[in-house]
């Protein structure tokens, strides 16, 4: 693969921007240097005074650009990844909405086909199962007749079929058998998040003690905090779990985003899009799994009930929104889209920061924080 020298940029490293040049070889970062002398056999990329930052990571997305993850062939998964690259995303998990066992296994097989081929866009690094072990009362867009009680054997079948590529699972703590299933998730290499839940505080904390590490789209589709009954909301705010946040200005008011960051700390909040196939497209009618969805003014809602159903958010817009909501600079906000999701999913040794030995997943932003160039494993996959 080509050696790269990305020069004349402000490089985000160790929590701050430094003037320097990023060197890559064979898809890996080999160093950051202040020297102006580069290897003669490298391709020089001029960042022109822009920001050189780690690629964005989206752990919770159901699709984009007209493609729904639940119905996507491996070629269509590639289409999603190519769109995501235009937004600065370099790694993502495909979120499979609760579906039949047969359709879930089909989604898994399409992901494996995807992994067998080369790619031009963001890397779909694995699968997120949102369900089926969820509470009917907080089902959101989940088809109620397909929800199940905790079933470690079924999950093990999914993971075996996926050859270990199920990375992330959303469960409701109050559902029978779920808390008992969480240690099995860890043994299977799956990070567990709690959500879609009306669990009381003690039950939710029981899930945390059992090994749950995150909360799915915090504040949304979960019982909220009451001073006498803290519920799942109180448990995820008090404990050390990571909290997903959909920062589109619809799912969370900007003040709630600021409150979440103040309560949890900036190192425990993970920005996700929860995007659907409508992301990147105009208002209209779309699908989310088996659900018909209408998007109006960029807001996605179920046709049947008007309940909000995912988002049309992108990671790049989430970045801009977070800067606007908090008034904080780029370097303060970046970890929510890079380091934090990488740490949650156990991939920080490979992605999430610009450091020697890591994948060369790099985004060049101009001074207005617009995405200009995107590299996935050292290859240019987007250049604007």
CATH of residue 338's domain is: 3.20.20.140
pLDDT at 384 over 60: no
Write out pLDDT tens, residues 37-60.
777 788 999 998 899 999 999 999
C-alpha distances (whole Å) from 15 to each of 136, 205, 228, 329 are 42, 32, 39, 12
Q: Which of 65, 200, 274, 361 is catalytic?
A: 274
If asked whether residues 43 and 143 sit together in one domain, one would say no
If asked whether residues 208 and 144 sit together in one domain, one would say yes
If asked whether residues 100 and 182 sit together in one domain, one would say yes
CATH of the domain at 360: 2.30.40.10
Q: Which residue has the tokens 């519920």?
A: 231
**170: β partners:** 130, 193
If asked whether residues 182 and 100 sit together in one domain, one would say yes
Please indicate, yes or no, if residue 256 is contained in any of the structural domains. yes
If asked whether residues 330 and 358 sit together in one domain, one would say no
pLDDT number for residue 40: 77
- Domain of 361, in residue numbers: 3-52+354-383
Q: Measured between alpha carbons, how far is 292 from 34 in angstroms, rounded to an integer?
A: 53
If asked whether residues 78 and 220 sit together in one domain, one would say yes
Task: Let me know: does 293 contact 300? Beta carbons within 8 Å.
Answer: yes
If asked whether residues 36 and 144 sit together in one domain, one would say no
Write out pLDDT tens, residues 253-285.
999 999 999 999 999 999 999 999 999 999 999
- Band (381; pLDDT cuts 50, 70, 90): confident
**9: β partners:** 20
Is residue 151 part of the annotated active site? The answer reads: no
Please indicate, yes or no, if residue 349 is contained in any of the structural domains. no
Q: 168 is written with which tokens?
A: 């992330």
Q: What is the pTM of this model?
A: 0.97
Q: Measured between alpha carbons, how far is 279 from 276 in angstroms, rounded to an integer?
A: 6
pLDDT at 383 over 80: no
Task: Establish whether the linkage from the previous residue to 156 is cis, with ω within 30° of 0.
Answer: no
State how far Cα 52 lies from the chain centre: 20
Is residue 338 helix, strand or coil? coil
Write out pLDDT tens, residues 226-243.
999 999 999 999 999 999
Q: What are phi and psi of 213, to 5 degrees?
A: -120, -5
Please indicate, yes or no, if residue 327 is contained in any of the structural domains. yes
Q: 182 is written with which tokens?
A: 């969480």
- Total domain count for the chain? 2
Handedness of CA 296, 301, 302, 304 (dihedral sign): negative
């Amino acid at each position: 693969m080509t050696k790269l020298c990305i020069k004349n940029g402000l490089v985000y490293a160790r929590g701050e921007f430094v003037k320097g040049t990023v060197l890559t070889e064979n898809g890996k970062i080999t160093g950051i240097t202040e020297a102006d002398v580069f290897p003669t056999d490298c391709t020089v990329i001029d960042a022109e005074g822009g920001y050189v930052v780690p690629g964005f990571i989206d752990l919770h997305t159901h699709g984009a650009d007209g493609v729904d993850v639940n119905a996507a062939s491996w070629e269509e998964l590639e289409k999603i990844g190519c769109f995501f690259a235009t937004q600065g995303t370099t790694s993502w998990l495909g979120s499979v909405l609760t579906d039949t066992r047969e359709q879930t296994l089909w989604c898994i097989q399409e992901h494996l086909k995807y992994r067998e081929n080369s790619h031009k866009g963001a890397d779909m690094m694995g699968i997120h199962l949102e369900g089926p072990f969820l509470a009917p009362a907080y089902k959101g867009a989940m088809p109620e007749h397909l929800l199940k009680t905790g079933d470690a054997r079924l999950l093990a079948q999914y993971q075996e079929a996926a050859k270990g590529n199920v990375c992330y699972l959303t469960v409701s703590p109050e559902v029978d058998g779920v808390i008992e299933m969480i240690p099995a998730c860890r043994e299977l290499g799956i990070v567990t998040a709690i959500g879609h839940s009306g669990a009381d505080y003690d039950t939710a904390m029981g899930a945390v003690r059992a090994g749950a590490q995150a909360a799915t789209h915090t504040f949304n589709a979960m019982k909220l905090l009451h001073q006498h009954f803290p519920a799942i909301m109180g448990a995820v705010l008090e404990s050390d779990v990571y909290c997903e946040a959909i920062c589109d200005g619809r799912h969370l008011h900007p003040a709630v985003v600021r409150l979440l960051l103040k309560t949890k700390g900036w190192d425990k909040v993970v920005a996700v899009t929860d995007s659907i196939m409508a992301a990147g497209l105009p208002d209209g009618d779309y699908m989310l799994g088996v659900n018909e969805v209408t998007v109006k003014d960029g807001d996605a809602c179920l046709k049947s009930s008007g309940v909000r159903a995912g988002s049309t958010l992108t990671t790049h817009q989430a970045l801009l929104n977070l800067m606007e909501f908090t008034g904080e600079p780029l370097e303060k906000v970046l970890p929510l889209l890079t380091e934090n999701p990488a740490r949650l999913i156990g991939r920080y040794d490979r992605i999430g920061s610009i450091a020697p030995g890591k994948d060369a997943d790099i985004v060049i932003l101009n001074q207005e924080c617009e995405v200009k160039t995107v590299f996935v494993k050292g290859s240019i996959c987007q250049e604007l």
